[in-house]
Amino acid sequence: MTKSSNILKVAITALGRNKLRSLLTTLGIIIGVACVVATIGIGDGARIQAEDQLRSLGTNFLMIFPGSITSGGARAGFGASSKLSYDDLDAIRHEIQDVTYISATNRTTQQVIYGNQNWSTSIQGAETDWPLIRSWNVERGQFFTDQDVRSANKVCVLGATVAQNLFASEDPIGKIIRIKNLPFKVTGVLESKGGSTMGQDQDDTVIAPYETVRKKLIGTTSVGGILASAASNDLVATAQDEIAALLRQRHRIVKASDDDFIIRTQTEMLQQAEDQSRTMSYLLWSIAGVSLLVGGIGIMNIMLVSVTERTREIGVRMAIGAKGKDIRAQFLVEAVALSIAGGTLGIFSGLGIQKGVARFAGWPVAVQPQAIALAFLFSALVGIAFGFYPALKASQLDPIEALRYE
Amino acid sequence: MARARKAAEAPFDPAQPVIRIRDLYRIYRMGGSEVRALDGISLDVHRGEFVAVMGPSGSGKSTLMNIVGCLDRPTSGSYVLEGVEISNLDRDRRAEIRNDKIGFVFQNFNLLARTNALENVELPLLYSAKTNLTDADRRERARRCLARVGLAERWDHTSAQLSGGQQQRVAIARSLVNDPAILLADEPTGNLDSRTSEEVIAVFQALNDEGRTVVLITHDTDIAQFAQRIVAFRDGKIIADHPVEDRRRAAGGTFADAPPAAVEAVAAPQAAALPQAAALPQAAAQAPETTRTPGPIAVETAAAQAGPRGRS
């Protein structure tokens, strides 16, 4: 229809006459929408990456840690209790059918030396099920054997980062490295797994037999933690319950008391990550809401100024036959055009910010078409909501008064 | 809406007055006291008349203009424009009537700023109920109206690039574009010097010669002398209503580049072709007689007068 295209033309012409003002007015919307698009993209990227990494922890994965202990009213933190024993592990291994693989673990940080190179890294003790639980294979050489674990042999498998730092281009297999001044023979190098959820490099590690680490590097009797995997994804929760029941019984925990151990499952951790990102997105949406509100108020303000400024013009238009609804449509279309222009600019700046972040900070970003559509829709709604009152005011002007307005 | 269609269907009888006002009151109440801006006036304006409404400020002439222009409604009384009773119409219907039947010309031109002449002239068409007009049609009509006031060449000039007289001529072109029943000019020369004033008045006279009905609101006695008939107001009442003796003719007003029928108007071709020499005192003096005899419309009278002059 020609009439609506005329209204659009009139609105765009009017905005074009005050380019700088129009731009400044839409700045609120631009910034709001840009923030939304950028942060949603970055947030989603982070969430997707976190989920990928949690999945990369292994399959149907469970972790059992000693819980906190209370001594004299002061509660020590996570893993402080030494209640978890190797007998517990054996009991789980033998009594719980749903657990297919199980491995004791412990961890210490040591300086690792080869030739004139040295590197501080985390040494993890593990048993032979470990690569199966973590779905983490040896790329070159071999993982150590059960015999190595039982005899506490000084052998180890290197993470890709450690291998790179100590050996560069040299082949590490069969070489002797020194950890805490003890010689360890390198039997293999793990495939690269990349950064973890917290941003630390998972490949920056050395895996050694559990008994070796316990006796020769840490010097303790207690188990640092137990890694296990359930037979299938459906059985993770069952296995968790069974392990909990077994451990409570073994540790003689009475009904009302808390567990002295903690069981984490991969599903739980995924859930947690999702909860976190949901909280994050609520936060982002409230920021978006506030900036769109502020942007909307800016638009209403400038539209009210514009109505006052153009009172005469409104009078003339009415005198030559514009009806209230024509005037209302004109100003409403102007407000919506402003906010949509702002929204569009905001989307592009948001995408630009995403690109910049992706390139310079190396964060992963995910462009979500729904987020863009939503940002666009919201900016249009803001235009309608905040443009309506000024438009109504304009349409209700008395033509006689308006024509007389100086 | 139904009313508008009915009015459009029944062709308006040219013998009837274009404007027929009976016992019109417009009373403003200001904190207890009432001001009778219009105090029971009755007035007829026939097709083809050129009426000057005169009076000092506060006499009610502006109130009359607002009501005749359908911007305001009377407190009581009847106002019939081309057979349509206006006094009880709502805002939207009055807007339609303004668009269709009234061509406004204001003292301060009231062109849209930073908008070129052609777009200004086109403006009433954008609000017109005649939605069958294409962009090209509108452009063409606006262009012809601009040509009619001699500004075809300057169609792309904005208001700021035009002189006062030119701006007022653009405003006149705008008032013509919807082929209105009356041209309603409120002090159209109030912001112009006397030479430019005469130019603008010349355009009105030429349009009137083509058969247009012109109502001119002014407080300037000199300007009123260009009309055929003067209606004088004081304190909301008509104190005098008489033809102009010794009517003045303004030079100019028709333009070489104007097409013969600038607007598909009621214009009688002979009247449009009237030479400038039409400014004959006796012709002007005779013209107001049409106001007293409701029968023949002004155009016919003008055409009849053109005959003997052509021979002499």
- For chain A, the domains span 2-52+272-404, 103-227
When CB atoms are compared, the residue of B114, B131, B174 closest to A3 is B131
Lowest-confidence region among A141-145, A384-388, B3-7: B3-7
pLDDT of B309: 41
pLDDT of A374: 83
Name the band, by pLDDT with cuts 50, 70 and 90, for residue B300.
Answer: very low
Cα A302 from Cα A296, distance rounded (Å): 10
Chain A nearest-CA residue for B66: A400
3-state SS class at A263: strand
β-strands B76-81, B19-30 pairing: antiparallel
Contact A221, A66 (CB under 8 A): no
Are the Cβ atoms of A17 and B104 closer than 8 angstroms? no
Mean pLDDT over all residues of chain B?
81
Name the band, by pLDDT with cuts 50, 70 and 90, for residue A223.
Answer: confident
Q: CA dihedral in degrees (A216, A217, A219, A224; nearest 10)?
A: -120
pLDDT of A158: 93
pLDDT of A78: 53
Residues of A (220-239) whose Cβ lies below 8 Å from B: none
Run of H or E including B25: strand B19-30
Choose between B39 and A252: higher pLDDT.
B39
Chain-centroid distance, C-alpha B162? 23
Contact B268, B210 (CB under 8 A): yes
Question: Is residue B179 within 8 angstroms of chain A, CB to CB?
Answer: no
Identify the top-confidence range among A264-273, B75-84, B282-291. Answer: B75-84
Question: Is residue B90 within 8 angstroms of chain A, CB to CB?
Answer: no
Chain B nearest-CA residue for A8: B126
Q: Which amino acid is at B169?
A: R
Average pLDDT on B233-248 reads 92
Q: Which of B1, B97, B98 is the best residue to mutate to test the A interface, defined by the most A CB atoms within 10 Å of its own CB?
A: B98
Q: Does residue B287 surpass a pLDDT of 60?
A: no
Cα A32 from Cα A27, distance rounded (Å): 8
When CB atoms are compared, the residue of A17, A321, A400 closest to B124 is A321
Q: Does residue A153 surpass a pLDDT of 80?
A: yes
Are the Cβ atoms of B131 and A312 closer than 8 angstroms? no
Distance from the Cα of A292 to chain B's closest Cα (Å) equals 32
pTM of the model: 0.68
Cα A155 from Cα A170, distance rounded (Å): 18
Which residues in B lie closer than 8 A to residue A315 (C-beta atoms)? 110
Read off φ and ψ for residue A394, nearest 5 degrees: -60, -40
Are the Cβ atoms of A317 and B127 closer than 8 angstroms? yes
When CB atoms are compared, the residue of A3, A312, A322 closest to B110 is A312
Choose between B165 and B301: higher pLDDT.
B165
Name the band, by pLDDT with cuts 50, 70 and 90, for residue A3.
Answer: low
Q: Which of A311, A316, A320, A401 is the best residue to mutate to test the B interface, defined by the most B CB atoms within 10 Å of its own CB?
A: A320
Choose between B255 and A198: higher pLDDT.
B255
Question: Is residue B109 within 8 angstroms of chain A, CB to CB?
Answer: no
> pLDDT tens for residues A333-390?
989 988 999 999 999 998 888 888 878 877 777 777 887 888 888 888 999 999 999 9
Sign of the CA dihedral running B291, B297, B303, B304 = negative
Q: Does residue B18 surpass a pLDDT of 60?
A: yes
Contact A387, A25 (CB under 8 A): no
Q: Does residue A125 surpass a pLDDT of 50?
A: yes
What's the Cα-to-Cα distance from B238 to each of B54, B182, B234, rounded to whole Å?
10, 21, 6
Q: Does residue B24 surpass a pLDDT of 60?
A: yes
Q: Within 13 Å, how many C-alpha atoms sit on residue A172's CB side?
A: 33
What percent of chain A lies above the pLDDT cut of 90?
36
Mean pLDDT over all residues of chain A?
85
Domains and CATH numbers, chain B: 19-311 (3.40.50.300)
When CB atoms are compared, the residue of B91, B112, B124 closest to A324 is B91
Instruction: Categorise residue B120: left if φ over 0, alpha if ψ from -120 to 50, beta otherwise.
Output: alpha
Q: Does residue A210 surpass a pLDDT of 60?
A: yes
Name the band, by pLDDT with cuts 50, 70 and 90, for residue B141.
Answer: very high
Are the Cβ atoms of B110 and A316 closer than 8 angstroms? yes
3-state SS class at B68: helix
Lowest-confidence region among A95-104, A194-203, B19-28, B168-177: A194-203
Size of chain A, expressed as the number of residues it contains = 406
Sign of the CA dihedral running A291, A297, A300, A306 = negative
Identify the top-confidence range among A200-204, A378-382, B27-31, B173-177. Answer: B173-177
pLDDT of B286: 43
Question: Is residue A318 within 8 angstroms of chain B, CB to CB?
Answer: yes
> pLDDT tens for residues A46-69?
777 777 777 777 778 888 888 765
In eight-state DSSP terms, residue B236 is T
DSSP A34-95: HHHHHHHHHHHHHHHHHHHHHHHT-SSEEEEEE---EETTEEP-TT------HHHHHHHHHH
Contact A138, A190 (CB under 8 A): yes
